Chain A
Amino acid sequence: MSSFFDRLFGRTPPPSARTAKERLQLVLIHDRTDLSPAILETLKDEIIAVISRHVDIDREGVEINLTQSQRENRLVANIPLLDAPSGGRKRRK
């Protein structure tokens, strides 16, 4: 039934093998590094807090992800910095 509505609204689910692969890649990073999704959330908040103490950041734009390539796992943090409020050039926004 839900697949009828999916088609009605133009949403077809991706082929299941693709879903399987994405799920596996994510679960394996957690398995291999012993970094559970819950700990990862806490880690993200702490990283944002620490960096914010030293420099202004755009919290909305923060991306912290786990990636996997070959058998190497990485925590990748992408943190947009804001110009200082005093001095410097005005932020274009």
Chain B
Amino acid sequence: MPGKVVTITSGKGGVGKTTATANIAVALAAAGAKVVCIDGDIGLRNLDVVMGLENRIVYDLVDVVEGRARLKQAMIRDKRLPDLSLIPAAQTRDKAAVSPSDMIRVCNDLRPDFDWILIDSPAGIERGFRNSIAPADQVLIVTNPEVSAVRDADRVIGLIEAEEKGPGYLVLNRVKIELVKRGDMLSTEDVLDILAIPLLGVIPEDEGILVSTNRGSPAAMDDKNRAGQAFRNIARRLKGEDVPFMPLEDNKNFLQKLAERFTKAG
């Protein structure tokens, strides 16, 4: 069965597209699928470093598009998960080096050999974004429960619907359940009311993500990491499984919470 192209985009920068792409890719590959990621952010590459593959880049997407390298030469196979590969972005070029039809051609060349082709879109709504959504069979919209992120997500949803790539599927990232309970953070329900697209997953804020990026080892590889678990659930839902949404409360038990209350009050 030919591979499915899934583009991860957001509008706003810094909401977690690259983290989501890396982790969803890892989760899919760990469950047995053949996955290739494409870093669509020409000139500001990051997917390589988040995945811990930055030392292995020889050729990149622009080399392939301009005929200096074949796809297989640019592809980096992850030694930890051999069914996972990355095609990195160029670092010294700009987005004009690649066109939407180039991206469609590259993805069509990849489809016979992979189950999933994940494209990490750059922030914004210009060329890099248009390149990244051109080949998409499905688009994921990553956002944070925060005013400017949601506003930008709404704009992007409008754009992809206009391109007939909708509906977007929502990945709500960096939710802090304590702030939601306090009424100081938009809840998942609030964001769904506003954006009105199907929900694919909710990722809790987790320091482990910073640690995983520091190490170049995506959190979805770690069984004990809660954000990693949320990404693994997203991967299963992408495959069509009905996975219940996990509770976002942290794991501290009652006694630990009680102890904290006394030390804070003191």
Identify whether the interface residues of B are mostly helix, strand, loop, or mixed: helix
- How many contacts between A and B, using CB within 8 angstroms? 39
Also in contact, A17 and B194, with CB within 8 A (given A24-B151, A28-B154): no
Asked if B184 and A16 make an inter-chain contact with CB atoms under 8 angstroms apart, the answer reads yes
User: Is B183 on the interface with A (CB-CB < 8 A)?
Assistant: yes
| Complex CA–CA separation, A16 to B158 (angstroms) | 27
B182 CB within 8 Å of chain A: yes
For B158, the closest partner residue in chain A by CB is A32
Task: Please state if B147 and A20 are interface contacts (CB–CB under 8 Å).
Answer: yes
Cross-interface CB contact of B196 among A18, A24, A70, cutoff 8 Å = A70
Q: Which of B155, B157, B183, B193 is close to A16, meaning CB atoms less than 8 Å apart?
A: B183
Scan residues 42-76 of chain A and give those whose CB is less than 8 A from a CB of chain B: 70-71
B150 at the interface (CB under 8 A from A): yes
Interchain CB contact (< 8 A) of B183 among A17, A27, A70:
A17
Contacts of A92 in B (CB 8 A): none
From B155, B158, B180, give the contact of A17 (CB < 8 A): B180
Give the complex CA separation of A25 and B196 in angstroms.
12
Are the C-beta atoms of A24 and B194 separated by less than 8 Å?
A: yes
Q: Which residues in A have their C-beta under 8 angstroms from that of B154?
A: 28, 31-32
Instruction: Assess whether B183 is in contact with A15, with CB atoms less than 8 Å apart.
Output: yes
Q: Closest chain B residue to A18 by CB distance?
A: B183
| Residues in A whose Cβ lies below 8 Å from that of B155 | 31
Considering only CB atoms and an 8 Å cut-off, how many residues of chain B contact the other chain? 19
In the complex the two chains form, is A25's CB within 8 Å of B151's CB? no
Most buried by B among A23, A25, A71: A71
Q: Does chain A have a CB within 8 A of B94?
A: no
A28 to B11, CA, bound (A): 15
User: Is B108 positioned at the interface, with any CB of A under 8 Å from its CB?
Assistant: no
Residues of B within 8 A of A21 (CB): 186, 190, 193-194
- Point out the residue from A17, A28, A71 that lies within 8 Å of B187, measured CB to CB: A17
Task: Provide the residues of chain B in CB contact with A27, threshold 8 Å.
Answer: 151
Complex interface: chain B residues within 8 A of A32 (CB): 154, 158
Q: Which residues of B contact A (CB under 8 A)?
A: 146-147, 150-151, 154-155, 157-158, 180, 182-187, 190, 193-194, 196
Report which A residues bind B (CB closer than 8 A).
15-18, 20-21, 23-25, 27-28, 31-32, 70-71
Known: A17-B180, A31-B155. 7 other contacts (CB 8 A): A15-B183, A20-B190, A21-B186, A24-B147, A27-B151, A70-B196, A71-B196
